[in-house]
Amino acid sequence: MLELSLIRLRRATWVLSVFSSILLLLTAVSMIVAFQMWGMVSETRELAEKLGNLGGFEKRVVDRLDSFNVGVQSLIDRTNGRLEEIRAEAERAAKLSQESAQRIGIATDQLEMRMNSFALQSDDGEAIDFGPAEQPVTRSAPGRNATAAALLAGQPDATQGNPAPQASQSFRRTTNADGSVTYEKVR
């Protein structure tokens, strides 16, 4: 019986040693896991702190973007304003150009009419009488002056148009012996 007791005791010791070894191993694993978790918790705290600061960083980035956008928008507004000014100046210049062209056209027409009136004066310096200025000029019957008839021969007839200008009394037309025509100012 003693032997049986010793065998049981050995078995129990052996079972207890295996069991204590397992417990020791589990304790070691638990300690390793606890240290790992402690490190992970501290890393998680650091990460949470950084994420908390991320909101401030995001706010700073948004503020800078807003100020940049305001600056760009004001630059665009100034550019648009300047483009509107340039467009208005270009329109004014085009309008002024058209008005100038019209004025030049009118002045050219008036000058041409004056030159025509000089050309239609008789050889002795007397102007050809066109009648009142309100009547239209007709070139169909020039019969008063041979020179005027020769000048008007190649031109189309004017049946209705602007009134003829009054012949200028400040210049006198003189035909020289060689056929050249000169104009002299009357004093």
Query: What local confidence, expressed as pLDDT, does residue 136 receive?
Result: 43
127 domain-assigned = yes
1 domain-assigned = no
How wide is the angle at C-alpha 16 spanned by C-alphas 13 and 21, nearest 5°? 125
DSSP 137: P
Our count of domains for the chain comes to 1
108 domain-assigned = yes
59 domain-assigned = no
How far apart (Å, rounded) are the C-alpha atoms in residues 75 and 96? 31
Q: CB–CB of 163/157 below 8 Å?
A: no
How far apart (Å, rounded) are the C-alpha atoms in residues 68 and 65? 5
The secondary structure element, H or E, covering residue 174 is strand 171-175
How far apart (Å, rounded) are the C-alpha atoms in residues 66 and 19? 68
122 domain-assigned = yes
Domain that includes residue 114, residue range: 90-185
101 domain-assigned = yes
Query: What local confidence, expressed as pLDDT, does residue 65 receive?
Result: 92
163 domain-assigned = yes
64 domain-assigned = no
Query: What local confidence, expressed as pLDDT, does residue 78 receive?
Result: 93
Query: What local confidence, expressed as pLDDT, does residue 164 receive?
Result: 46
Q: Each residue's pLDDT tens digit in the chain (187 positions)? A: 778 888 888 888 888 899 999 999 999 999 999 999 999 999 999 998 888 888 888 899 999 999 999 999 999 999 999 999 999 999 999 999 999 999 998 888 888 888 877 766 655 555 555 444 444 444 444 444 555 555 555 555 544 455 544 556 777 888 888 888 888 887 7
The β-bridge relationship of strands 171-175 and 181-185 is antiparallel
Entry field: residues in the chain: 187
How far apart (Å, rounded) are the C-alpha atoms in residues 160 and 136? 6
